[in-house]
Amino acid sequence: MTGTDSSEILSRGSRNQHRQKILIVDDAEANLMILSNLLAEEGDVISATDGAQAISLANSALPDLILLDVSMPTMDGYEVCRRLKSDIRTRDIPIVFVTGRTDDDDQEKGLSLGAIDYILKPYSPLIVLARIRNHLALQKAHRDLKLANQELTRLATTDFLTGVWNRRRFMELGEAELARVRRSGRNFGVVMMDVDHFKSVNDTYGHDAGDAVLRALADACVDRLRNVDIVGRMGGEEFALILPETDPQGAKLTVERLREYLGQMAIPTDSGTLSVTVSAGVTTVQDPSDTIEAALKRADEALYKAKGSGRNRTVAYEDI
């Protein structure tokens, strides 16, 4: 193997996140050396001398660009390209064939397999360098756009203060859970939870302390519940939960344990350590004709009952 060793590339990833990775695949050591030296300033170069090694490195290093020779023993470049493009982890990595095959049929085959370019040998180093720079710039633009879209999606679906789902996304996830109930006939719990006397926290300690309380409670809910459970902030000091595949007894027991845990937390704020309690209302969706809005309304009625009965307690709508 020539160029920079793959293990070194992986270990340096955190130090050189701004540098793109280029995988060069060729069974001829001389060709690897030439291309590695030519592209050394364009990114971190990884090299492979056969198809199996190329696929392994592509999956582990996830390079930004692959330069792939066509004529290799055991597995040719076309087969390597086909396998990479059929794998969800590597299918979006751009592939450039670098080969001495000049027939139009060869180029058409490579491009039809998903390659983005075809560089013919012998090549001009300056032209190769310019084309590779263009491909790297385009790949960086694609990745930057993808990250920007992911960030926009996160901002549109999560609560800005606590990081849990916002009301809109919570309702969408609730509809998806209801669709699963209609298919499977299974139950799920719906919970409305409210911080007791939250206004006095803001009035006494300030809104920064109140925000710290809400963030701590949201984090605790996410940590204490299952990965499949859904936590959303509905507004103010009010949170909602969806507990998939949970019957009425299980839903009430889960929420009661969570309520007790939250009430025992010592929450650090700039004003000192605070403790709060919460009240919760629980219901269960069992009927396929039910709606998320109706379930939340039932849970809210149970929550109102809990607060009217002295707060710091869990009430199930079915027990009212």
Nearest CA to 67 among 3, 141, 156? Answer: 3
157 versus 9: the higher-pLDDT residue is 157
CATH number belonging to the domain at 167-319, selected among 1.10.260.40, 3.40.640.10, 3.90.1150.10, 3.30.70.270: 3.30.70.270
Question: What is the pLDDT of the chain when averaged over all its residues?
Answer: 92
Nearest CA to 221 among 244, 199, 242? Answer: 242
Tell me the per-residue pLDDT of 256-309, one tens digit each, with 9 for 90 and over: 999 999 999 999 999 899 999 999 999 999 988 999 999 999 999 999 999 999
Cα distances from 25 to residues 28, 45, 76, 194, in angstroms, run 9, 11, 11, 59
pLDDT at 17: 53
Confirm if 177 and 188 have CB atoms less than 8 A apart: yes
Integer Cα distance of 304 and 108 in angstroms:
69
Domain 6-155 indexed as CATH 3.40.50.2300: yes
Integer Cα distance of 219 and 54 in angstroms:
42
The yes-or-no verdict on residue 186 having pLDDT over 90 is no
Give the count of alpha carbons within 13 A of 318, CB side only. Answer: 14
Tell me the per-residue pLDDT of 249-271, one tens digit each, with 9 for 90 and over: 999 999 999 999 999 999 999 98
Mean pLDDT of 37-61: 96
The yes-or-no verdict on residue 104 having pLDDT over 50 is yes
Where are the domains positioned within the chain? Answer: 6-155, 167-319
Tell me the per-residue pLDDT of 134-152, one tens digit each, with 9 for 90 and over: 999 999 999 999 999 999 9
Integer Cα distance of 320 and 297 in angstroms:
14
Q: What's the pLDDT band for 43 if we cut at 50, 70, 90?
A: very high
Widest distance between CA atoms in the chain: 85
At residue 42, the 3 state secondary structure works out as coil
Q: What's the pLDDT band for 105 if we cut at 50, 70, 90?
A: confident
pLDDT at 38: 95
Tell me the per-residue pLDDT of 51-100, one tens digit each, with 9 for 90 and over: 999 999 999 999 999 999 999 999 999 999 999 999 999 999 999 999 88
